[in-house]
Amino acid sequence: MLIIPGIDCFDEQTATDHINAAAGFSEWIHIDIADGKFTPIKTWGTPQEFSIFSSQFSKISFEIHLMANDPEKVVEDWLKAGAKRIIVHLEALKDPGLVAELCKKYGAESMISILPTTPIGKILPYVKYFDYVQLLTVSPGLPGQKFGGDTVNRINFLKENVPGVRIEIDGGINPETARLVKDAGAEIAISTSYIFNSSNPRAAFDELNKS
């Protein structure tokens, strides 16, 4: 299973510090973009600000998690800025085909995310458009929340109903929950607080990989 460090910051300096740190030990970096409408809070980051990092770290692949209303209106801006994978939410999506086609146009991967409060069956008609499915285990936007208890059942449901599905887990990932979702069949796990609340982010990242 691939562990990806997550960037969920409210200001440019913290985002810069975390991205610079993560670029030293991971080939992928996940950036949360919360618009303050789909989510209760607004995080750092515009496509223009992000493009500085995607240019500086050209060997790093960035995935952008758009926790935003009307993602179709902003997806292309993030792709132009250098995103290698775009994550959009089922609950905000109106045109899955458009998002998928834009990602293909720019040589990027696409992923659809579902909130933990949304019945998992609702995602089934949309999965065919996307390269990955993300299961969010916490409420969107706020870092440091605990891992949701029904996640393993949701992974099992997808594995049983969508042959070949590739799943990313986001929220509450630590060594214990990383092992749990890997054993259930997840391919990717995002860890934010566990890594960056540590006094040694690289050591925390290595510990997650060993787990």
Residue 110 maps to which CATH number? Answer: 3.20.20.70
Angle between helices 175-184 and 151-161 (to 10 degrees): 20
Q: Is 32 a catalytic residue?
A: yes
The bridge status of strand 28-34 relative to strand 61-67 is parallel
Q: Count the domains in the chain.
A: 1
* pLDDT reported for residue 205: 98
Query: Closest Cα partner for 143 from 25, 37, 28, 43?
Result: 43
Q: Position of tokens 């029904």? A: 150
Beta strands 109-114 and 85-89, pairing class: parallel
Q: Print the domain residue range for 65.
A: 2-210
Active site residue 17: no
Contact between 25 and 60 under an 8 Å Cβ cutoff? The reply is no
**pTM confidence score:** 0.95
Q: Exposed e or buried b for every residue in 69-82, given b needs 16+ CB within 10 A?
A: bebbebbbebbebb
The residue annotated as part of the active site, out of 8, 11, 17, 32, is: 32
Give the whole-number percent of the chain exceeding pLDDT 70: 95
Mean pLDDT of 77-81: 98
pLDDT digits (tens, 9 = 90+) for 189-203: 999 999 999 999 999
Alpha helix stretches (DSSP H) within 23-142: 47-56, 75-80, 96-105
Catalytic residue among 8, 11, 35, 170: 170
Structure tokens at 78: 């993030």
Residue 18 amino acid letter? H
- pLDDT 10s digits, 38-53: 998 999 999 999 999 9
Find the range with the poorest average confidence among 77-91, 101-115, 130-144, 195-209: 130-144
